[in-house]
Structure 1
């Protein structure tokens, strides 16, 4: 598996984002998708040259980043790809100057909630646009010192 940064118009990333949106619509309806800032940076996990997972970090305030667009294709779940993506995104966030990461996920995504909790994220009050969204669960994690973005291949 290789994890690398890709531009938002990358065909493999675009296909993953489309699949992620389709899954969100199936779970929550068409309002299940939240905007991503232009400054967001995306990582893509590939297996044998096939883009199978993605995630992004976007600035959310001074020294704060937000995880967005975490997704792994269903046929590739259960292989540790999402966990490796989270670690790589944390490294990327550290390289972007972030000391804390926030994220929002939904109650209809128990596998995502379990992943984030296993990765050390702790629940926080809903923030920003999520304050009045009862199906949303928000988390945060302080980032460790000395992240090393770029060491994402395995």
Structure 2
């Protein structure tokens, strides 16, 4: 498996984010949650097996030394293989390279697999922030990063 950087307009990112949105719309059918676009300020990482893109994750700047993990997604057929954990670790590495010291993220209350991943990776619940304030389905998490010692 290979993880490589990609832009928000990369066809793999566009396809994976569209699949993620479809899955979320199905999971949250009947709610008022609005579809999310792909933020052009985000830097993406794409996981590939051979040439096939199987997952992605984005890093979106939020402010000085703060960023958000966004658009974390692995195709269902490839879940349970550690790809999401690898993508999360690589996004954290990218954040450290950019001197980010606090990572935030949002997931939905109907996504126990995501909640479990984030909690097991050291993220703790925080109050809703930014566009998630007032969303009854959103759960927000945060992790403090420390510089890698050489």
Q: Is TM more than 0.5 here?
A: yes
Alpha-carbon distance between aligned partners in 2 of 1:138 and 1:66, rounded to the nearest angstrom: 10
Rounded to whole Å, the distance in 2 between the matches of 1:5 and 1:123 is: 28
Partner of 1:86: 88
- Deviation of 1:73 after TM superposition, in Å, equals 0.2
Any gaps of 5 or more consecutive residues in structure 2? Answer: none
SS of equivalent residue, structure 2 residue 16: helix
The alignment's C-alpha RMSD in Å is 1.7
Of residues 63, 66, 71, the one that matches 2:65 is 63
**Structure 1 gaps, min length 5:** 149-154
User: Once the 2 structures are TM-superposed, how far is the Cα of residue 49 of structure 1 from its aligned partner?
Assistant: 1.4
1:142 deviates by 0.4
Report the CA distance shift for 1:92/1:2 in structure 2 as closer, same or farther (over 3 A).
Answer: same
| Closer, same or farther: CA 147–123 of 1 in aligned 2, 3 Å | farther
Normalised to the residue count of structure 1, the TM-score between the two structures is: 0.90
Alignment-derived partner of residue 151 in structure 1: none
The Cα of 1:37 is off from its aligned counterpart by 3.4
* Aligned length in residues: 148
Q: After superposition, what is the alpha-carbon deviation per residue over 1:11-42, rounded to whole angstroms, capped at 9, x for unaligned?
A: 22221111011011112247353344322100
TM score, norm. by length of structure 2 = 0.92
Q: Does 1:110 align with 2:108?
A: no
